[in-house]
Amino acid sequence: MDSFLNDKSVLIIVVVSPGYKEDVEGDGDDEHGLHTKYIHNQIQNEFIQQGCLNFRLVPVLFPNATKRHVPNWLQSTRIYRWPLDTEDLLLRLLREERYIIPQCGADLTLTIRPL
């Protein structure tokens, strides 16, 4: 698990649900063995170390979740709603842009004529 967290080329999908918020903000231990709190703390530390810029976290809201279930520190980033934002989510995971920037044409020539 740590190798994936440390590999900066790997995108991390944060599946947001009411249970996720309860797991990461609650006082209890990780009783279901998913290491949710540990992973949450690791990605939060990385987010802070990156100056609160999100390079690889992909938060996805499931149908039973709302934006209030997203941890406060992650609310400033793009949040995808499943299944409404499926196309945008796939583009993000493939690291592709929705809109392709047109190529620049030939260099312009500037001609100055005195009057």
Quick: pLDDT tens for 57-82.
Answer: 999 999 899 999 999 899 999 999 99
Q: Is 110 inside a domain boundary?
A: no
Q: At what angle are helices 18-25 and 36-49 packed, to 10 degrees?
A: 80
Instruction: Using pLDDT thresholds of 50, 70 and 90, give the confidence band for residue 19.
Output: confident
Place of tokens 């493939």: 94
Reported as a single tens digit per residue, the pLDDT across 20-33 is 888 888 776 666 65
Q: Is 104 inside a domain boundary?
A: no
Mean pLDDT, all residues of the chain:
86
Instruction: Using pLDDT thresholds of 50, 70 and 90, give the confidence band for residue 101.
Output: confident
Q: Is 107 inside a domain boundary?
A: no
Q: Is 105 inside a domain boundary?
A: no
Place of tokens 């063995």: 33
